[in-house]
Amino acid sequence: MPQISLEVSKDNGRTFTLQPVSYIGALGNYLMRVLWRRFGSARDFVFRIRMTDPVKFVITAGAISAREVPQ
């Protein structure tokens, strides 16, 4: 079954940490959603997404919920 991995950098891409790998369903399962949460805080996030299988892979939407932290 195809898997997708997400690596997150909080220092503008110098170092990355791997988030848990997620299964994205069988070929033809177009309604599958993958969610990652709780990345913490940083000023320079960089995300790297990788797909395990050699099939066409399209990201159709993405969302980020952010809030300003009072100082």
What would the DSSP string read from start to end of 28-62?
T-TT-----------SB-EEEEEESSSS-------
Interval 50-66: pLDDT, tens: 998 887 888 888 887 77
Q: State pTM to two decimals.
A: 0.75
Whether the pLDDT of residue 47 is over 80: the answer is yes
Give the domain range for residue 29: 1-71
Which residues lie closer than 8 Å to 6 by C-beta, 6 or more apart?
18, 19, 22, 36, 47, 48, 49, 50
Number of domains into which the chain is organized: 1
In the chain, the amino acid numbered 43 is: R
How many whole angstroms separate alpha carbon 23 and alpha carbon 33?
9
Interval 2-34: pLDDT, tens: 899 999 999 999 999 999 999 888 878 888 888
